[in-house]
Structure 1
Amino acid sequence: MAESLGLKESISMALGGMIGGGIYAVLGVVANITMSAIWVAFLAAGIVAICAGYSYNKLNSLTDNQGGSVTFVQCYLGNSTLAGIAGWTLLFGYIGSMAMYAFAFGEFTAAFGIIPGSVLEVPTRPLISVLAVAGFVGLNLLGSRTTGAAENVLVALKVGILVVFGLLGLVYAFGFSGAQFEYGVSHLGGFDPLMAAAISFVAFQGWQLLYYDQEGIENPVDTIRTAVYISIPVAVAIYILVGMVTVNLVPQALTSHPHVALKDAASLMMQPYGLAQLGAVILALSALFSTGSAINATLFSSAYFAKGMLGDDILPDQIGSSDADGVPERTVLVLGAITGAFTWFGGLGAITSFASLSFILVFGAMSYLAFRQRDHDEVNAVIPAIGTVGALAFFPLMMYNLYTREPNTFYIVLGLAVVVLAVELLYFERDVIEAEVTEFEPDPGVFDEHN
């Protein structure tokens, strides 16, 4: 873009990255674990996220080489392998996020009831999800990009619909339903809210994408810092409002078809006004719009992130070229293909858990890096310490929750994590492995002498 992004555009990008599709995809998964204590889950995840945001900001201000997670690891630890692993982990987290958005896009499209449940014996939901990813891959290949001004409008619409949804839901809950509004007090004694917080963590990513485009942001260090500190609390407030309304109005929908429970809640709250069908349609259209734009924005940003990794020799050249003008086409195609495979074969629980796991690890690592800089006067050691401890707690809680509640999902997520880590180590330690193999290879001349 010709002009640099200001504070409003940066807040819109950060908030849009979180609100874009997370609430539609994550809400049902989180609510099934904690129900009316969902506010605790979103609050806990938001606290860890804001601590990570503080850590990113401090790391960004303490170095002249501004960047994101990869740059910070390289700068403060000087370890290319760890920097590469952080980059790959984050990239897979973005792929998981896009797959999650595409899954929700397919669910809400199917919920209209216009399209049959299967086409030529192929289930409709994964087909729609893959077609959505393919469509946005095509848009990115054409070079389309949402401007900062347009992003302000898009985010205002998305946030506005959800806020109106939440407020009308409160009006219905306290003015029409007659049922007692539950706050989940009985659930506060167990680990369920924290387990749900860990799984919901993927809904709080997106703001860190600002750090990868600092050249296009006016006064980047100060602007990004302010944008992060505003956008994360706003996202927490919206998630809590929408989550509490939904679990109180349609708890049965969260059990029977959790992925589209927001649509059922919108229908119910508009009944007193004779607009039940309209409420459901508006909410479903909002979900399609939000998840679709989230796929597009994340694909664009992650492709540029990958381009930077290509320039640093952190990704293989076969994935794309760092010298390409704009987004590397091969990179977009590769990211789209992997995303399509994830959303076709994966369940929403597995996709969400895998993506959350990726961001927990990276955000926790950034909090730890900031904690290591506590000797600087401008770094408050308590905040990154909370972020580090929070991430360390979320990791085992999420894995335990999956193991006990969804063992199949647990093994899928564990298998994906092991495969990703193995591929990362093989790639970044390939020179060491090659040297070791060469050292133990027999000399061909000696072998011939013995024969």
Structure 2
Amino acid sequence: MPSKHPSRSCHRSRGKTLGVPELIAIALGGMVGGGIFSILGISVALVGVYTPLVIAIGGVLAGLAAYSYIKLGVFFRDEGGAYSFFKRSFPASPFAASLIGWWVIFGYISTLALYAYTFSSYAISGFGFADDEPVRKLVAGGIILVFTLINLWSVRGMGRIEDLMVYTKLVILAIVSFVLIDNGEASLPTLLEGQAPVGLLAVLIVAALTIVAYEGFELVINAIEEMDTPERNIPRAIYAAIVLATLIYLVIGVGAILAIPFDELIANKEYALAAGAEGILGDWGTELVIIGALLATSSAISGTVFGASRQMAAIADDGFMPSLLARRSGHIPVAAIVCMSSMAFGLILIGNLEMILEFGSITFLLVSLLMAWANLRMRDRTGASAPLIWLALVGLLLGTVLILYYEWTNEPRQLIFIMGLYLALTVSARLFSSDRRSHRR
């Protein structure tokens, strides 16, 4: 999926040069959100001790997806991200721009729902109603409302709050991970001996599902107006951030499977780390895990509302979404913020963690596929390697097919709902692109 926070860099002062360390921090702030907390329990349930392996494969897949974003970002030098890249790669096709615009925005909405759902799961994990689904969804809606109001209130206030959350969460996650590893009584060889057979297909399916945890590296491209030598700094920052995020996820994953019994991780997959940490780390450890999860998901929610609402307003301003969504109060796209927050809460009400996770993963894979396609079309101008583009296309397409196959064999009704949603998005994109073309005539 394109950048969760396409304009997060806006709260930085214009004219300030961002170096590679700052750009890496921006990317990690977006990537290390609620994804790792969402996928951990699901991954252990499906592949057990191979969880670190699927995390690593997911990182490789993210690197392949990033290749086209980097090439297109350096060539176009446009803060608009995937939507702008695709629109400019296919200027004669309003439908192409409209389609990716609709997919991009609903990808953001699904990730917003995912992070809010995960926030809620950890926030109530210490209470007797931790498994009460209506309460969980109500709390998820509440946290979306909080950050919606913050974004409506003050861009500066949002930026200061988010900076604090980003840096604090990275420190907490590092502490928790190493403490878990240090207190783990099991070893990987022992766990492998006791692991039930896991097929390659299952490993690849879960690896595809983990891709949503890597969404956010595109933030670097959105800061292109605030950096020197983007042709050098963009690839360095994005690839470094993906490697660092993969290492962070690996440490968390290894710590969890070494220290926490699998049955606890699986039984409480919505808040797997908090549920299992108490017996290992005691009350203080559990509280630290919960604080880390709440900070991680909060920063992701805040940035998603901030950046995605502005991209929604830009798409509406181009005529590919209802014109109401382009309205702003000052620089704040009030209608877009309210609309996307409301739709995210609606998705939470009708779905569950797995459905939201899978829709988000599929959307990120599909949009990354379109970026690879655009890069293939523009490769003579971007200087991209055709073999690398084709490798990315194959990997991303395989990941998409595997998730759809998993849905078909395990949750066919859920798949029908997801496909119906994509059909509705595609029809909406066609209607708005046709309407825009008729107005031009």
TM-score (norm 2): 0.88
Q: 1:43 to 1:183 in 2, by over 3 A?
A: farther
**What corresponds to 2:285 in structure 1?**
279
State the AA in 1 paired with 2:211: F
**What corresponds to 1:23 in structure 2?**
36
Alpha-carbon distance, 1:179 to partner: 8.4
Q: Distance in 2 between matches of 1:226 and 1:178?
A: 35
**What corresponds to 2:191 in structure 1?**
182
Alpha-carbon RMSD across the aligned residues, in angstroms, is: 2.8
> Is contact 1:165–1:266 with CA below 8 Å preserved after alignment?
no
**What corresponds to 1:90 in structure 2?**
104
CA offsets, 1:75-127, max 9 Å, x none? 22222211121121111111100100110111111112176876xxx921111
State the AA in 1 paired with 2:54: A
State the AA in 2 paired with 1:331: A
Structure 2 residue 248 is matched with structure 1 residue 238: yes
Instruction: Kindly report which structure 2 residues correspond to 1:21-420, keeping only aligned pairs within 5 A, or say none.
Output: 21-63=34-76, 65=78, 67-78=80-91, 79-113=93-127, 123-145=134-156, 153-173=164-184, 176-177=185-186, 181-182=190-191, 189-248=199-258, 249-270=260-281, 276-321=282-327, 324-375=329-380, 378-420=383-425
Alpha-carbon distance, 1:426 to partner: 2.3
Q: Distance in 2 between matches of 1:216 and 1:96?
A: 29
Q: 1:29 to 1:420 in 2, by over 3 A?
A: farther
Q: Distance in 2 between matches of 1:377 and 1:370?
A: 7
> Is contact 1:9–1:151 with CA below 8 Å preserved after alignment?
no
Q: Secondary structure in 1 aligned to 2:30? A: helix
Alpha-carbon distance, 1:188 to partner: 6.2
Q: Distance in 1 between matches of 2:268 and 2:314?
A: 40
Alpha-carbon distance, 1:41 to partner: 1.8
Alpha-carbon distance, 1:429 to partner: 2.6
**What corresponds to 2:25 in structure 1?**
12
CA offsets, 1:58-87, max 9 Å, x none? 112223556411222122222221112112
> Is contact 1:90–1:362 with CA below 8 Å preserved after alignment?
yes
Q: 1:316 to 1:213 in 2, by over 3 A?
A: farther
Q: Distance in 2 between matches of 1:24 and 1:137?
A: 22
CA offsets, 1:157-180, max 9 Å, x none? 22222222222222222xx44785
State the AA in 2 paired with 1:52: A
Alpha-carbon distance, 1:421 to partner: 1.9
State the AA in 1 paired with 2:108: Y
Q: Secondary structure in 1 aligned to 2:22? A: helix
Q: Distance in 2 between matches of 1:28 and 1:105?
A: 15
Alpha-carbon distance, 1:147 to partner: 7.8
Q: Distance in 1 between matches of 2:165 and 2:56?
A: 25
Alpha-carbon distance, 1:11 to partner: 1.5
> Is contact 1:106–1:126 with CA below 8 Å preserved after alignment?
yes
Alpha-carbon distance, 1:212 to partner: 3.4
Q: Distance in 2 between matches of 1:389 and 1:146?
A: 43
Question: Over alpha carbons, which structure has the higher Rg?
Answer: 1
Q: 1:186 to 1:408 in 2, by over 3 A?
A: same
CA offsets, 1:341-370, max 9 Å, x none? 111221011111111111100111112222
Aligned length: 424
Question: What runs of 5+ residues in structure 1 fail to find an aligned partner?
Answer: 271-275, 435-451
TM-score (norm 1): 0.86
Alpha-carbon distance, 1:313 to partner: 2.1
Q: Distance in 1 between matches of 2:203 and 2:389?
A: 22
State the AA in 2 paired with 1:143: S
Q: Distance in 2 between matches of 1:298 and 1:354?
A: 16
**What corresponds to 1:444 in structure 2?**
none
Q: Distance in 2 between matches of 1:136 and 1:106?
A: 14
Alpha-carbon distance, 1:379 to partner: 2.0
Q: 1:21 to 1:66 in 2, by over 3 A?
A: closer
Q: 1:338 to 1:163 in 2, by over 3 A?
A: same
Q: Distance in 2 between matches of 1:80 and 1:402?
A: 32
CA offsets, 1:263-322, max 9 Å, x none? 13332332xxxxx1110111012111211121011110101212222332222212232x
Question: What runs of 5+ residues in structure 2 fail to find an aligned partner?
Answer: 1-11
